[in-house]
């Protein structure tokens, strides 16, 4: 998102959270003002801003992973801006405003924590998780936005736009809540071996790219299931594996002065193993 000059006519900055929010809302209103606002900001819609919203959420996660608090503060601000942006567009369309967004999530938190804001007694974090999921399931069966929700099944409401591994895990968790799950990780290993064998069979019979893609997808889904049973978030695990690969491959490039043309695979493999040993 382009950096806008918002210095002219800004409300004064303040350390008070309420004042800071009001200042941000005023800045966004000024940017979207068709009489002297920013041309780029004025043109944006829910759909054009959505990719930035997803990107900012990942940048928050990246700052947390790097344990960089200065970056985290900045990225959280960027993510908050996305909420303000969407709320402003909705307000202009007469749908809702930022106050309605904040009020709705406040109501939801109170509703989902009756053990804090009500009289319900919950003995442990595990029991609270069970109760939380039950409340979410109940909410999914209610009408949303004034229209009946057609999808009220156990797997309803898992966003299609989630990263594939994250969505796979969420679908598996939903199915597990209604008893559709293996009791432990043991059978998952068997399932992974089965899926690998099916991939090998497809390669041997040349069943075509579409069938091979299907089998590879089944394997990845099974691996996500293994991570879930082992208490490992598959999305985080793969992200860290990618960072590890990037770091080690950088060491390989360093070993050859970033000139890998003409370097044999055996030489690169030895440099890779050296990088692993150094870690």
Is there a domain that residue 153 lies in? no
* Residue 106, domain extent: 17-111
Number of domains in the chain: 2
Angle at 164 between CA 226 and CA 53, to 5 degrees: 130
pLDDT score at 241: 93
Q: What is the CA radius of gyration of the chain?
A: 25
What values do phi and psi take at 234, rounded to 5?
A: -65, -35
Single residue among 65, 87, 111 that ends a domain in this structure: 111
Single residue among 111, 127, 148 that ends a domain in this structure: 111
Is there a domain that residue 190 lies in? no
Is there a domain that residue 31 lies in? yes
Is there a domain that residue 250 lies in? yes
Instruction: From first to last of the 279 residues of the chain, give the pLDDT tens digit.
Output: 554 444 444 544 556 888 999 999 999 999 999 999 999 999 999 999 998 998 999 899 889 988 999 999 999 999 999 999 999 999 999 999 999 999 999 999 998 888 888 888 877 777 777 767 777 767 766 644 444 444 567 888 888 888 899 999 999 998 998 899 999 999 999 999 999 999 999 999 988 899 999 999 999 999 999 999 999 999 989 989 998 999 999 999 999 999 999 999 999 999 999 999 988
Question: Which CATH number fits the domain that encloses residue 56?
Answer: 1.10.287.1080
Residues in the chain, total: 279
pLDDT score at 148: 47
Is there a domain that residue 224 lies in? no
Is there a domain that residue 50 lies in? yes
Is there a domain that residue 181 lies in? no
Is there a domain that residue 201 lies in? no
* Interatomic CA distance for residues 87 and 47, integer angstroms: 13
Single residue among 66, 88, 111 that ends a domain in this structure: 111
pLDDT score at 233: 92
């Amino acid at each position: 998102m382009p950096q806008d000059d918002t210095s002219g006519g800004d409300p004064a900055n303040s350390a008070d959270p309420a004042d800071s929010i009001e200042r941000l809302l005023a800045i966004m209103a000024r940017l979207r003002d068709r009489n002297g606002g920013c041309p780029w900001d004025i043109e944006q819609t829910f759909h054009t801003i959505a990719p930035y919203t997803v990107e900012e959420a990942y940048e928050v996660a990246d700052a947390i992973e790097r344990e960089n608090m200065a970056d985290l503060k900045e990225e959280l601000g960027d993510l908050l801006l996305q909420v303000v942006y969407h709320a402003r567009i909705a307000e202009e369309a007469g749908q809702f405003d930022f106050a309605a967004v904040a009020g709705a999530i406040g109501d939801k938190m109170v509703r989902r924590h009756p053990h804090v804001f009500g009289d319900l007694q919950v003995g442990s974090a595990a029991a609270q998780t069970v109760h939380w999921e039950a409340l979410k399931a109940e909410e999914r069966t209610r009408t949303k936005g004034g229209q009946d929700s057609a999808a009220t099944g156990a797997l309803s409401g898992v966003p299609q736009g989630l990263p594939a591994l994250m969505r796979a895990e969420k679908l598996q968790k939903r199915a597990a809540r209604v008893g559709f799950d293996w009791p432990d990780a043991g059978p998952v290993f068997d399932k992974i071996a089965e899926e690998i064998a099916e991939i090998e069979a497809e390669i041997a019979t040349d069943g075509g790219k579409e069938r091979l893609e299907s089998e590879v997808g089944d394997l990845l889904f099974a691996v996500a299931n293994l991570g879930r049973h082992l208490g490992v978030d598959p999305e985080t695990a793969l992200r860290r594996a990618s960072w590890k690969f990037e770091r080690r491959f950088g060491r390989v490039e360093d070993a050859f002065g970033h000139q890998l043309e003409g370097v044999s695979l055996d030489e690169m493999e030895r440099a890779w193993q050296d990088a692993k040993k150094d870690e």
